[in-house]
Amino acid sequence: MYLTRIISVQSFKGGTGKSTITANLAVTLAHLSKRVGVVDLDLEGPGLHVIFGISDGDVRGTINDVLQRSIPVSQAVIDLTSRIRLKDGYLVFVPAGHTLEEILKILDTGFNLFTFKNVLEELGKIYRLDYLLIDSHPGIEKDTLLAMALCDYLVLISRVDQQDLFGSGVMTEVAGQLNKPVVVILNMVPSSVNEKESKKISDRLTELFGLRVLTALPFNSDVLENLSMGVFVLERPKDPLTRRFTEIAMKMLEAIETGPSEEFSTTGRAAGSLA
């Protein structure tokens, strides 16, 4: 059986750059010669199809169809490997339905844990995926809890405002109840917050919630201008931020491969230091 690591990318609030980071991490992992899948599970506000440049004509089915009409997941998979000119890696994408009718229907009927679990297992097996990233809806709702329950690792995206940080701590407590390791990426850190201050914030998050922070990404106007219109690491391969994404991906892989440990947050305040 092919072992696929499932990574759920979540945030407590919207507007954290969660989908942008998911897309860029997925492409970066693929460029590191990994076989990667991405599922858009932000069913209320799907956007990954725009970032990946997917047109309606490219879509044969969506994750909504798979979960509600029981179509084979292969009918909803879009192979992005050739689009991003991969030599060794591999990238496939399962979009979410983005019409009003599709969104309202799945919000009304929902889906169950068993069905979603089978879909993820089938994706990993058919496409021999090393990693499967799930871009979940912000907040603590049924679909995000399902993704959290089924994932091997949880990546929380947070801005540095007090409400978002507190919410990330709450989500970490929930993950702890499910015994899920958590890492955090602080995003859109204001230019007024220097590296030393970012480190203090990271240390404080460790003290309060046991959160392991992978990195703190500064606010980047180029990314903002590019928001939801393309994958940054593809369009700016020589940009320093692209190198940062490679560093983040490698840190994340190292953390995942070493497995849960005293330094990995699975029980909230009991966790150790941040990387």
pLDDT at 221: 72
pLDDT at 26: 96
- Asked if residue 275 belongs to a domain, the reply is no
- Asked if residue 89 belongs to a domain, the reply is yes
Identify the domain containing residue 36 by its residue range: 5-270
pLDDT at 2: 65
CATH number at residue 119: 3.40.50.300
Q: For residue 112, is pLDDT > 60?
A: yes
| Number of compact structural domains in the chain | 1
Check if the beta carbon of residue 39 is closer than 8 Å to that of residue 94. Answer: yes
Which residue type does 50 have?
V
Q: For residue 34, is pLDDT > 80?
A: yes
Q: Closest Cα partner for 106 from 69, 55, 54, 150?
A: 69
- Asked if residue 47 belongs to a domain, the reply is yes
- Asked if residue 95 belongs to a domain, the reply is yes
Check if the beta carbon of residue 4 is closer than 8 Å to that of residue 130. Answer: yes
The percentage of residues in the chain with a pLDDT greater than 90, rounded to a whole number, is 40
User: Which one-letter DSSP state was computed for residue 260?
Assistant: S
- Asked if residue 117 belongs to a domain, the reply is yes
The percentage of residues in the chain with a pLDDT greater than 70, rounded to a whole number, is 89
Instruction: Take residue 198 and report the two structure tokens written for it.
Output: 């970012």
Q: For residue 77, is pLDDT > 70?
A: yes
- Asked if residue 93 belongs to a domain, the reply is yes
pLDDT at 195: 74
The secondary element (H helix, E strand) that includes residue 214 is strand 212-218
**What distances in angstroms separate CA 170 from CA 21, 127, 188, 260, one per listed residue?**
21, 34, 20, 20
Pick the residue with more confidence: 178 or 227? 178
Mean pLDDT for the stretch of residues 189-201: 76
- Model confidence pLDDT, tens digit, residues 230-268: 898 988 889 888 999 999 999 888 877 776 544 444 433
- Asked if residue 14 belongs to a domain, the reply is yes
Check if the beta carbon of residue 20 is closer than 8 Å to that of residue 115. Answer: no
Check if the beta carbon of residue 8 is closer than 8 Å to that of residue 151. Answer: yes
Give the β-pairing of 78-79 and 90-94: antiparallel
Q: How confident is the model at residue 18 (pLDDT cuts 50, 70, 90)?
A: very high
Mean pLDDT for the stretch of residues 54-68: 91
